[in-house]
Structure 1
Amino acid sequence: MSMVSFLAAALLMISLAGPTDPMPRAAVEQGTLIGREADGVRSFKGVPYARPPVGGLRWRPPQPAGPWGERDAGQVGPICVQPPGNGDNGVGPLPMSEDCLTLNVWAPAQSEGPLPVMFWIHGGGLNNGSGTAALYDGTRLAKRGVVVVTVNYRLGRLGFFDHPALAAERAPGAPAANYGLMDVIAALRWVRENAAAFGGDPDNVTVFGESAGGALVTRLMISDAGRGLFHRAVVQSGLGRDEGTPLDGPRRDGGPSMRTRGEAFAAAHGAATAEQLRAVPAETFLQPAPNFYGGDLLVKDGLYVADDVEAAFAAGREAPVPLIIGANSAEFWWMKPSDLSPYGAIDDAMTEAERAAFLAAYGGQEGYDQFVLSDLVFNEPARHLARLHAGNGHPTYLYRFDVVSAAMPEPHAGATHASERQYVFDNLTASPWPTTAMDQRQADAIAAYWTTFAAKGNPNGGERPAWPEFGAEPDRLLEFTNDGPVARTVPFGDRLDLIEAYYARVR
């Protein structure tokens, strides 16, 4: 069947299902999906976009999903293998399994013309999370006239891992180690081929992600394999100054390669061959937990990711797409720079003069301890990437999220890490704390900006406050506050300037 015939058949199937069909059908390349309709939105859940990466397919690139004829798509699939969620509302329900490469789709039951597609990449440090959490239910965004897709991708050492025995069985130049990123790209390819079956426009796809999901968005932006699969990007607290680990060779900071790390882990579990590694129970790879910022999971494999994000943006090699990027006001308020962690080590190279200047800028040790890591890891890198992207001639919109619910119990002094997610999805019922009418007003605003951006590459429209375009109005952003969105100069620019100078010196 030609692509034109396939798309026509898919659209016809949507129209035949009718606007009130409780069991809508969608024709995709692998067969027919039987979804559900409720409250004016059709959903199709637990849809395989690749074959199960089990047995001999563990630590191999994702393979296309096989045909299924008719398939019930009324329930989400298992989450990928991961440690306990410890109350994180972004994890999703059990069971968990290596057979987890599924996605979920929400689309308006009635629409005119192809709709923008919003493709969500969850966070969780590449160790946790899923696209199946109620937090990421796409119903309320779909009601705004978009098709929403959420995805599961391999996590931890099952998703980001290498070993000399695995390298020996690969052909030269074959993809390696970045299997979770490969999964995301495979899912985007599936969306490109099948978006029309849900009323979506394959030529208008927005990738958006938070934390580690945001870091994957920036990697998609610098990956040749991701080029052309998306047309706008949103990075929520997605770092930007982070360093990838090469397959074979030391990191810039001197840390070991992916293969060396994998060999050390395997040796501790008595596995030396590829066959032995694939026979190890999946849960074994959870302990000890791999370190996200310390180099175990962010991979510079030379093929899918050939450079660090900052370097690629600086060289103008990122995707030339409209970008929203930003962070929260008090991301890591609970983590001190004196803590023994890779984050705590970021400021270790400061000179006496630099530290004195930082302490003065932050109003003393208490302010430094509370806010400097948030700025070092998230806020300054977001501003830096925004400057680079805008400087390369691409539409760029910087934000700062500072909405704090009155019921939030933490001694936060700002919006903590990941707290924007329930506002972006307009899913305040999934919030970990009670919410108010104020929270709903801010959720309405941010969801409207995000969906408008997905539609036209510019978040502005309606009667909302205008969001400055960063290239046209340098160092101005939109701040989301309890009183509503406000356009303003980047807050605490003096602090961020000190951080920029510090990074320039040490790197």
Structure 2
Amino acid sequence: MKWWMVMLAASVAGCASTPKPSTPSEQVRVSGGVVQGSVADGVLSFKGIPFAAPPVGDLRWRPPQPVQEWSGVRQATAFGHDCMQVPFAGDAAPLGTPPAEDCLTLNVWRAADAPADGKLPVMVWIYGGGFVNGGSSPSVYDGSRFAQQGVVLVSFNYRLGRLGFFAHPALTAEAGGAPTGNFGYMDQLAALEWVKHNIAAFGGDPDNVTIFGESAGGGSVHTLLASPKAQGLFHKAIIMSGGGRGSLLGGSKLSEDTPGGPRSAESIGVEFAKSVGIHQTGPEALAALRALPVERIGDLSMMNMGVPTYSGPMLDGQIVVEWPDAAYRAGRWAKVPVMVGATSADLGFGFARTKDEVFAPFPDQAAARAAYDPTGNADVRTLVALTAMDRTMIEPARYTARLVAAQGLPAYHYRFSYVADSMRDEWKTGAPHATEIPYVFDTVEARYGAEATELDRKVGREANAYFAHFAKTGEPSGQGLPQWPRYEAGTDLILDFSASGEPVAQPDPWKARLDATEAAANAAAASR
């Protein structure tokens, strides 16, 4: 982890060219007042637009409140602060602004020559970072390429860590039956409500909105698909390395300890309060917690004497009523077209020390060994990595695609296997977690700089085109791209953004592995 560091003053994309002088067409009225954008390279962008009141002081740990109106024209040419956090060291998407508690802003990109009433498709990006890191300012998230594809791209910030996901008995009492705890998810809902009510002013179609996110952002898309509070706010969804079985991160209930499982989020919140010297349980506890310096809350000390003091997202009974896979199985979800996938060397955690421990969770150990270690020569570390990523990301993506397809909705399953030319000696096992993002946004130069090759750029153009076409039509194929077949369990066809740089539609070559992992997941669920 990297502690406080000097942040870039502005994103690479924002500095790429000098904006031309403003014209009246670059002013838009939104909730709160008039904002002034700027044009660069044929793209009109607006940055740092408030979509809610600053969640500071007495508004800390409250649902996002209506944006405060301003007079005159507000300049929207620089990103607002990313939300409070301790940035990761070596993050592939480094923040472009210093983190702060006052952070509820969003950004919009559209083609400068698009008609103001063009009813363009809208894509809304939700960043990842384990619900403790991330923001909308990184240059790899620049929306210009999507804008050039005829899409209005929106990105926004949501509260993180204990500021975003925190419960306490006094907070629950204060809420009086209103949602509490998952404040980061409340921010996501508020941003989508802002899009619904304001995006037409930018030429976007509020009836054609696609949400997409990676890692914690992909997990957030799962949550929004299943949340009764999000219904009607979007019309298509893309889940990138977002899991799909149970809770990706977190897992606590708001007020109830789970026997043999996580303590309640309230219990964890009380533990944190005690760790900072606050032992009261009533309104005086909230006053003391809200008076804490933000650095005392937004640090990375997630434990106190070995006891967790951060819950992550929780089952709150209103926004998160059940885990998404349960909602999918029961048909209690948004029922929209879904694109879902993961990278070929994705994230997973395992702690087995021997091969026997690796294969112990599989009901048919012989089949699992044949799928993962057919020669018997694989080393334990390799097997731990493969089974962990399949369990955490790869198989849950397929599981989601199968549930969607089984209910008659369009599902498109992908795997991202391409590795940047400059990283092939280092990333020999495949594409690591989050490395598809610069290709989806077609911002490979922002990620790899002068080391970006023409093949890297080609993959970026193609990935960006697939995602944009899905946002436009609900079907990703188009613009002369190789056909991406609709997913069906019987054919098990995926689109692989292959290591060669060519998109390849094929039956999933990892089917035997994922079948074994699916059997293990079903056996574990049946035993609970």
Given the superposition, is the C-alpha separation of residues 181 and 348 from structure 1 closer, same or farther in structure 2, using an over 3 Å criterion? Answer: farther
> Counterparts of 1:93-492 in structure 2 under 5 Å?
93-112=96-115, 113-171=118-176, 173-243=177-247, 244-251=251-258, 254-271=261-278, 272=280, 273-290=285-302, 296-332=311-347, 336-338=350-352, 350-351=360-361, 354=364, 357-363=367-373, 364-366=378-380, 367-408=382-423, 410-432=426-448, 434-471=451-488, 474-481=491-498, 482-492=500-510
Separation in 2, partners of 1:154, 1:351? 36
Separation in 2, partners of 1:354, 1:288? 40
Separation in 1, partners of 2:205, 2:259? 41
The unaligned stretches of length 5 or more in structure 1 are 1-18
Residue deviations 1:343-374 (CA, integer Å, cap 9, x gap):
x9xx8893586555434321234441231111
The 8 Å contact of residues 41 and 106 in structure 1, kept in 2 or not, is answered as yes
TM-score normalised per structure 2: 0.86
Stretch of structure 1 that moved more, 367-376 or 152-161: 367-376
1:83 to 73, 86, 95: 86
Amino acid at match of 2:110: A
Residue deviations 1:378-433 (CA, integer Å, cap 9, x gap):
00000001100111111110000000112115344110000000000000122157
The 8 Å contact of residues 97 and 137 in structure 2, kept in 1 or not, is answered as no
The 8 Å contact of residues 395 and 471 in structure 1, kept in 2 or not, is answered as no
Shift of 1:20: 7.4
- Say which SS state the counterpart of residue 275 (structure 1) adopts: helix
- Say which SS state the counterpart of residue 394 (structure 2) adopts: helix
- Say which SS state the counterpart of residue 124 (structure 2) adopts: strand
- Say which SS state the counterpart of residue 495 (structure 2) adopts: strand
- Say which SS state the counterpart of residue 408 (structure 2) adopts: coil
Separation in 1, partners of 2:491, 2:328? 17
Separation in 2, partners of 1:105, 1:412? 37
Match of 2:12 in 1: none
The 8 Å contact of residues 45 and 77 in structure 2, kept in 1 or not, is answered as yes
Amino acid at match of 2:136: G
- Say which SS state the counterpart of residue 189 (structure 2) adopts: helix
- Say which SS state the counterpart of residue 26 (structure 1) adopts: strand
Amino acid at match of 1:195: I
Stretch of structure 1 that moved more, 352-361 or 74-83: 352-361
The 8 Å contact of residues 84 and 99 in structure 2, kept in 1 or not, is answered as yes
Shift of 1:326: 0.3
How many corresponding residue pairs? 480
Stretch of structure 1 that moved more, 481-490 or 220-229: 481-490
The 8 Å contact of residues 141 and 443 in structure 2, kept in 1 or not, is answered as yes
The 8 Å contact of residues 358 and 384 in structure 2, kept in 1 or not, is answered as no
- Say which SS state the counterpart of residue 422 (structure 2) adopts: coil
Amino acid at match of 1:50: A
Match of 1:499 in 2: 517
1:42 to 27, 41, 44: 44
Match of 1:4 in 2: none
Shift of 1:75: 0.6
TM-score normalised per structure 1: 0.90
Separation in 1, partners of 2:331, 2:362? 35
Given the superposition, is the C-alpha separation of residues 494 and 448 from structure 1 closer, same or farther in structure 2, using an over 3 Å criterion? Answer: same
Given the superposition, is the C-alpha separation of residues 250 and 91 from structure 1 closer, same or farther in structure 2, using an over 3 Å criterion? Answer: farther
Match of 1:64 in 2: 66
Amino acid at match of 2:517: I
The unaligned stretches of length 5 or more in structure 2 are 1-18
Shift of 1:220: 0.4
Given the superposition, is the C-alpha separation of residues 165 and 294 from structure 1 closer, same or farther in structure 2, using an over 3 Å criterion? Answer: closer
Separation in 1, partners of 2:322, 2:50? 31
Question: Identical aligned pairs, as a percentage?
Answer: 44
- Say which SS state the counterpart of residue 463 (structure 1) adopts: coil
Match of 1:8 in 2: none
Shift of 1:22: 3.5
Match of 1:22 in 2: 22
Given the superposition, is the C-alpha separation of residues 338 and 401 from structure 1 closer, same or farther in structure 2, using an over 3 Å criterion? Answer: same
Shift of 1:87: 2.2
Shift of 1:288: 4.1
Residue deviations 1:257-281 (CA, integer Å, cap 9, x gap):
1001111111111123111111111
Given the superposition, is the C-alpha separation of residues 349 and 257 from structure 1 closer, same or farther in structure 2, using an over 3 Å criterion? Answer: farther
The 8 Å contact of residues 89 and 432 in structure 1, kept in 2 or not, is answered as no
